[in-house]
A and B are shown apart, each in its own frame.
Chain A
Amino acid sequence: MAKNLRDIKKRITATQKTGHITKAMQMVSASKKTRAEENAKAYVPYMEKVQDVVASIAAAAPDVTHPMLVARPVKKTGYIVIGSDRGLAGPYNANVIREMSRAIQERHKSNDEYVILSIGRVPTEYFKRHGMNVVDSVVGLPDQPSFAQIKQIARKAVGMFADGTYDELYMYYNHYVSVISQVVTEKKVLPITDLAPATEGLHATYEFEPSAEAILEVLLPQYAESLIYGALLDAKASEHAARMTAMKTATDNANELIRTLTLEYNRARQASITQEITEIVSGAEAIK
């Protein structure tokens, strides 16, 4: 009996410790989530501006074209997947991986028809393990990534479209809706097709210096790169929110378990006391 008591005690202590850790992780994620949200917000003005200018150029000079605006017959497709480096984030990675795998299986018959650019250790390892065509990956991004840190993969993604490696480019990531809801989103990055100005009623007719073509040359890659960066910021906010929710659930479960175990412990303790008394009493009775 005493051994059983000790076992229960041990489990309670262990669960308490786990609970402390998950609680701490929950709070860390909560503060990171706030920061990530701020980053995503700080980024909005830039994105809107770039979008405005691209849209007004497209509107002002409809005869100007650029390879990145033209839809080509699709022979090969590029996919960017954004996941996290670490687990413990609930279904965060599983969701995005599942959605993307399904899309790839539906659309492509062989490995030659698509390439994957992967951000985050979990999706990278998953797709490599499953023998899928991962051509580039970024792992070990900080929780607050700066534009410079993802520029290389963004530039490569855009460059591979430009040199004809693939003819369209999609992104898969968790879009941040709220703390409890993150939705896997598919976004078409290239070719750029839907060019609506972010601000309503903006139809300035610009002078282009030196020419509209030269500006598109600079602007469109920058635009595509910023789309990717924007998605990353969004995904980071989702990651922290998902981890926060997962850790909250874990902490709640730990507390629930501790409650049940404590009850069990008290019962066992009471039972052993009762038994002891019974033994003493019956011993005393026997002497009489």
Chain B
Amino acid sequence: MSTVQVNIVTPDGPVYDAEVAMVIAKTISGEIGILPGHIPLVAPLEISAATLKFPDGSKKVVAVGGGFIEVRPDKISILSPAAEVAENIDIARAKEAKRRAEERLRSKSDDVDFKRAEIALKRAINRIKVYEENV
């Protein structure tokens, strides 16, 4: 079975690196599945879960906090401001982040950046979801 190299990189360093059979990611225009030999493609990603399928049939799910995916026939890169493999997610921290974001959204003061809080909340929910579904 042919494989393609995937690496997931964030500003805080590389997160994951492997040979996989398929990558499933959610771009802003819809979900895509990428097999080895895909034409070069660049697409922005949603705050979502990306699934890596290995040649032996096993799966790995990664929580991706936006960013984009860059595809080349022999190499796939996911570049995101934040990304975590499901089993590395710190669930306590994610829940804490969710609580904080909700608090900020509820407060009616003017100095709260609602858009930012909303994104933070989305990220936290995404992390929690990925963790709970896969670990």
A, B: real partners? yes
A residues near B, CB below 8 A? 39, 42-43, 45-47, 49-50, 52-53, 57, 146-148, 151-152, 155, 204-210, 214-215, 218-219, 222, 225-226, 229
Q: B68 on the interface (CB 8 Å rule)?
A: yes
Task: Determine the chain B residues whose CB is within 8 A of the CB of A209 once the complex forms.
Answer: 27, 29, 32, 41-43
Q: Which listed segment binds A: B9-17, B50-58, B84-92?
A: B9-17
CA distance in complex: A49, B77 (Å): 8
B-side interface mostly: strand
Contact of B72 among A47, A204, A214 (CB under 8 A): A204
Interface size class of B (residues with CB under 8 A): 20 to 34
B82 x A45 contact (CB < 8 A): no
A207 x B39 contact (CB < 8 A): yes
Most chain A Cβ neighbours within 10 Å, of B28, B39, B44, B66: B44
Task: Determine the chain A residues whose CB is within 8 A of the CB of B79 once the complex forms.
Answer: 46, 49-50, 53, 222
B29 x A226 contact (CB < 8 A): no
A-side interface mostly: helix
A205 x B40 contact (CB < 8 A): yes
Contact of B68 among A39, A45, A219 (CB under 8 A): A219
A152 x B42 contact (CB < 8 A): no
A215 x B43 contact (CB < 8 A): yes
- Chain A residue nearest to B120 (CB atoms) is A148
Quick one: which of B48-79 are within 8 Å of A by CB?
66-68, 70, 72, 77, 79
Task: Determine the chain B residues whose CB is within 8 A of the CB of A207 once the complex forms.
Answer: 39-42
B9 x A46 contact (CB < 8 A): yes
CA distance in complex: A46, B43 (Å): 16
